[in-house]
A and B are shown apart, each in its own frame.
Chain A
Amino acid sequence: MKRFTSLLLAIDQTTSTSTKTELIAQYLQEESLEKNKLWTIALFTGKKPQRTVNTTLLRKWCAAEANIPLWLFEHTYHIIGDLAETISLILPEYNITSTSKSMSEWIEEMMALKNADEEEKQIFIINAWKSMDRPSIWVFNKLVTGGFRVGVAKNILIKALSMFTGQDPTKIAYHLTGNWTPLKTTWSELFNFQDITSDHSKPFPFYLAHALPNENIPDIDPQIWVAEWKWDGIRGQLIKRKGEVYLWSRGEELITDKFPEFQRLTSMHDDFVLDGEIVAWKMEKPMDFQKLQTRIGRKNPGKKIMSDIPVKFIAYDLLEVNGVDIRLKSFEERRLLLEKIYESCIGEVLKLSPLIHFESIETLKEVRNESKNYQAEGLMLKRKTGIYHSGRKTGDMWKWKVDPFTIDAVLIYAQRGHGRRANLFSDFTFALWDGDRLLPFAKAYSGLSDNEMKEITTFVRNNTIETFGPVSSVNPKLVFELAFEGISNSTRHKSGIAVRFPRISRWRKDKNPEDADTLKHIKELLSDSE
């Protein structure tokens, strides 16, 4: 555990990505236990161990150990902004006697507690706390709570693994995908560079686009580029190999069972790997994203929901055909092969994302304005000669979203944030006018600079009306412009509407609360968008 903790502390103490890469490579070199290495990779790529002890219990036990009331623990937690860290800071000084286990041992013993009773769990957790120093307790708690986020982007890990194994980063990225787990997969299985076909379910790393930085990019020449709608669903990779169909989400979660529709494709003659969008689709057009969300929530959907909210896979790229990886072919070539696959497709669960040809960026801009009629978020631009890259790369693909809706709203509740926003008020609830009262309609967390958050933190301290646990209601004085992607009716919200992906676009210091928008106004936007 010590070695892994030291690695995390060292990573924490640098902001340089090359130093982080070297630290991880060095750790892989020095760590002798294969299991520890595998868990490190798993954790850094977002594979969390299953949670077996809930946080309510952890809070209770920590407060009892420290001999403080639970309310004091909770208040402290809201200021420190991280549960694992709060516990590690609050626990009393123990005389560390027993020798600590390795990181993988702790994880696997913790996972084995799945069906244990509360007392057994308590003994395990408190013994663990008593056998570690504070930094290790912090790491251990992170493993238990599953909130494992360190400043290591996937690219850094891939680079480090490439340094360690001497293999090409793209290859590494591919081997890291899919459904492996340190519980079953060995190092040589994971990095079996000879036989990559051993696991039929294995997805390719997704190619992700940056937002088009500037509309006047002269490079967007219709000779060189094509456009497609940016579909508003969930990105997926649909794999059909050896009579089996697998569906992966962009987060590399296997979601095959959630969408049984696609099992029809098993009888197709060709094998293939498609990149595309899972979209709720009815009456020859896409449904609202919110409908799809109810499907995502169900593990095994019943007949009713499947007929109420049918889904389609809108294919826009082909990565592999009959066992041949074609990612290095040009988009144009891949597209032709994709169209062939599409023609032979059975059962109408596949759609082909139409190409949008255009004369100039100006005409394309007009097309983009039509996005909402297609339930699209905007356009994707693809270079005809571009290959299918791994991860987020600049150059061969851009996303070009439509401008979001904006509205001016009043800040009415504030809560302290987490992580690097610890002890700063950063989570806000905003309201709109409904007659002469302010009705909350959206929460937003992002969009402000640290300095603005500091300023608001001071404002909240001086303008708190009442506190409800961690939430402070404040004098309605500050106005912010909020941006969001969509509006829909909602029975769950007091305001009767729900907005999608709300964020703060700017602080309207020039506006008074009276100048904020009304609920009526936002409902007009709603009818416009329908």
Chain B
Amino acid sequence: MPLLEFSEKGIYCSQADCFIDPWRPVKKALITHAHSDHARSGHTQYIATKDSVPVLKHRLGSFINILGLNYGEKILINGVSVSFHPAGHIIGSAQIRLEYKGEIWVVSGDYKLEHDGISIPFETVKCHTFITESTFGLPSFRWQQQKTVFDEINNWWNKNKEEGKVSIIAAYSLGKAQRIIQNIDPSIGNIYTHGAIENTHEVLRRQGYNIKQGLKVENHTKQDDFQGSMILAPPSAIGSAWTKKFGQYEEAIVSGWMAVRGIRRRRNTERGFVLSDHADWDGLNMAIKNTGAEKVYVTHGYSEIFARWLTEQGYDAGVVKTEFTGDEETDLQQENQVPV
């Protein structure tokens, strides 16, 4: 029997009797990271990295039964050695390594190779079998360095400021929002953050992350005070009555999907910046190669296409069907929650 199987509830290890990122309530759940399509509510016990415990409690309730592990720390569950390793996706995100009788499997969760300046960078974990995400598993997706993208964002912000406009970026409160506030140029103007984002940031600050403080949008703040500033808001707030108080503004979406003109146009957004917390085509291929794995399972994205490509590259590759399909729409909702 293989160490991991693919069940209706998620990836399952029968030897340890635990699931990885299951989407139905189970007894023991190993959680790669705190995004809602990976960390669902209702499990009896959660095991995750120490870094993601506060956010998981913030999102799922302080009462959840959760065990936090350091990166690289090994625990034994019925003879299976389980450890969490940096995935570089968001703060606290991990790949999960399972070893039993000398056989090693790694479940990647979501990951990216580029260091974003906040989350602990991706670490290669050698294994026999690698279960990889493939959200951007097409050769059309290749990212520029984040510095280049932030230069573009800063230029856009500057230009809007010169025209007397406010800049609004739709950013998912866990992941994108931190990456943006830590990397944009604060000398351009004031940065305001929406309450939903600030709440997450407060949780991260309490656990020791030095996330920059954004100004609060108060009811009594005057329209003039916003002029030339940057507003970070969850996508659900974009286009709502909330944005009316800013007067004239430009809005942008920051996501890997913005590489596709058709999707950009469909969102009817004026600006799309191509920046993702997922690995691009080259990143996926490199990560897989570096694991030394012979067997690769592909999930969460263009799985069939990517698995066929890997097979042609000499891997023994297969597809894992999941309920979180990692398609553009749900992922954009997930990363950016943009209303269509």
Contact = CB atoms under 8 A, between A and B. Distances in A.
Nearest to A462: B325
Contacts of A451: 340
For the complex of A and B, 5 pairs with smallest distance between CB atoms: A422-B262, A89-B140, A420-B265, A420-B266, A76-B138
A14 B263 contact: no
A14 B262 contact: no
B271 A80 contact: no
Nearest to A12: B261
A82 interface: yes
A151 B329 CA distance: 24
Interface residues of B, number: 26
Contact of B138 (A79, A81, A151, A458): A79
Contacts of A421: 262, 266
B82 to A, nearest CB: 32
Contacts of A89: 139-142, 259
Interface size class of A (residues with CB under 8 A): 20 to 34
A130 interface: no
B138 A14 contact: no
B187 interface: no
A394 B290 CA distance: 64
A281 B308 CA distance: 56
Contacts of A419: 262, 265
B305 interface: yes
Interface of A: 12-15, 66, 68-69, 71-73, 75-76, 79-82, 85-86, 89-90, 151, 418-424, 450-451, 454, 457-458, 461
Interface of B: 138-142, 259-266, 268, 270-271, 302, 305, 308-309, 312, 325, 327-329, 340
B327 A450 contact: no
Contacts of B308: 71-72
A15 B268 contact: yes
Contacts of A420: 262, 265-266
B139 A72 contact: yes
A274 B25 CA distance: 74
B260 to A, nearest CB: 6
Interface of A is mostly: helix
Contacts of B325: 461
Given A419-B262, A461-B327, 15 more contacts: A14-B270, A66-B139, A68-B139, A69-B309, A75-B302, A76-B305, A80-B260, A80-B262, A85-B260, A90-B140, A420-B266, A422-B261, A422-B266, A423-B262, A454-B340
A458 B333 CA distance: 14
A76 B193 CA distance: 37
A14 B270 CA distance: 5
A480 B188 CA distance: 52
A15 B239 CA distance: 15
Contacts of A423: 260, 262-263, 327-328
A75 B312 CA distance: 15
A69 B262 contact: no
Nearest to A461: B325
Nearest to B259: A89
